[in-house]
Amino acid sequence: MFVIITYDVNEKRVGKVCKKLREYLDWTQNSVFEGEITIGKYKQCMADLNNIVNKETDSVYVYQVKNPRNIKKIVHGREKNPLDLFL
Amino acid sequence: MFVIITYDVNEKRVGKVCKKLREYLDWTQNSVFEGEITIGKYKQCMADLNNIVNKETDSVYVYQVKNPRNIKKIVHGREKNPLDLFL
């Protein structure tokens, strides 16, 4: 399936969440990741994230689209390069 | 259709972009908006945004899902209230 994951977590945990998501998905921009992922990997990713975030204060939003053909992505303006993350 | 819009724009324009998107969609968290929108309203929204952003440096990402039933949203942790935006 195709997923988009966005997060709003305490700055102390931003780095950990970002690093973990990079193991599973492609970074898009700011706190947004996307990509195709198997159900098994997705469950593993969510289990990993649950060990990092504070459920009382942090938020992780997941949008799932079973068939990637049902979602279309359009970039207006500058397309960020994944390397921007490290600059 | 259902759209998710995320943006990464210069801080000078963040407020304007956010205000404009609120006219068309629901705020989710940080720089993420979502909601159902007609094709006509969507085009209008994009035209409005194009007048605000700098295409050389700013990015606006749009994910379109024609049939809202093809997308599922899951919130892990705290669900942000739209009012959080003003706090």
Strands of chain B, DSSP E: 2-8, 26-29, 32-36, 59-65, 72-77
How far does B78 lie from chain A, in Å, by closest CA? 5
The residue of A71, A75, A85 whose CB has the most chain B CBs within 10 angstroms, and thus the best one to mutate to test that interface, is A71
Give CA B81 to chain center in angstroms. 16
Count: domains in chain A: 1
How far does B42 lie from chain A, in Å, by closest CA? 13
pLDDT tens per residue across span B3-45: 999 999 999 999 999 999 999 999 998 899 999 999 999 999 9
DSSP codes, A39-57 = HHHHHHHHHHHHTTS-TTT
pLDDT tens per residue across span A62-81: 999 999 999 999 999 888 76
CATH of the domain at B42: 3.30.70.240
Domain assignment present for residue B50? The answer is yes
Domain assignment present for residue A9? The answer is yes
ipTM of predicted complex: 0.87
Domain that holds residue B67: 2-76
Domain assignment present for residue B81? The answer is no
In 3-state terms, what secondary structure has residue B13? helix
A residues 36-75 lying closer than 8 A (beta carbon) to B: 46, 49-50, 53-67, 70-75
